[in-house]
Amino acid sequence: RKGHLKIFFGASPGVGKTYAMLEAAQRKRAEGEDVVIGWVETHGRPETAALTEGLERLLPRNLDYRGTSLREFDLAAALARRPALLLLDELAHTNAPGSTHAKRWQDAQELLEAGVHVWSTLNVQHLESLNDLVAQVTDVRVRETVPDAVLDGADEIEFVDLPAEELLKRLAEGKVYVAEQAARAVEHFFRKGNLYALRELALRRTAERVDADVQEYRRDHEIETTWPVA
């Protein structure tokens, strides 16, 4: 039986997607579910790192590329372990040369076909159809993208939201990036106008998914009366 995909979806880095995913995973573990970390990026955030405690974690795979050792998610180990639920952070990540698949979302697809439930994270700027629009708004070209069909095909989407002002405050407090990275981020991608626009895009994209769920429910239950919720 095919596994279920849940995506923790947000407007930008730092809104708390990985934190929310780990919190939910700890609840699943407390309920007795077999939860394993395949890959999680804490970005040095102690609060996020603390939520990985007690969860089984797969060792990364080391790949040699041009004399450099690169650490990547070990798909073969995950398939061999076959947990009930695997956490696979940063769905848009590009894998190192020599990996089984070019993209992490492709790793997720193989795990789902093998019957493993997968939870992952994704920012709106990584959606393929929005790539040109995001570049136009932010003046930043996002190189790593995920086909929209991956998000549309997810069994569940959890929108993780944070107002722009709160995100900028977290950035200034060093809770998103280290000081030097944070300063550069505010000057470029994390300008307040960009964050407003990305948040609106993410909200609209989430609303489209909710609308699709509503229409499917209405069809399944043969509801013909109008629901003026749009």
Q: What is the pLDDT of residues 196-217, one digit of tens each?
A: 999 999 999 999 999 988 999 9
Burial class (CB in 10 A: 0-12, 13-18, 19+), 82: middle
Which pairs with CB-CB distance under 8 Å and at least 24 residues apart come from 176-180? 176/13, 176/14, 176/43, 176/45, 177/14, 177/43, 178/44
- Average pLDDT per consecutive 10 residues, the chain (230 residues; last block may be shorter): 96 94 98 98 88 97 84 97 98 94 98 98 96 90 94 96 92 74 68 93 94 91 86
Question: Given this model, what pLDDT does residue 185 score?
Answer: 66
Q: Residue 141 CA to chain centroid, in angstroms?
A: 19
Quick: pLDDT tens for 155-203. Answer: 999 999 999 999 989 888 878 876 566 556 666 788 899 999 999 999 9
Strand 68-72 vs strand 61-65: parallel, antiparallel, or unpaired? antiparallel
Q: Is residue 108 within 8 Å of residue 91, measured between CB atoms?
A: yes
pTM, entire model: 0.93
Provide the Cα torsion 128, 25, 50, 7; round to 10°: 10
Tokens of 8: 């923790």
Cα atoms in the 13 Å half-sphere on the side-chain side of 81: 19
Question: Given this model, what pLDDT does residue 230 score?
Answer: 72
Question: Given this model, what pLDDT does residue 48 score?
Answer: 92
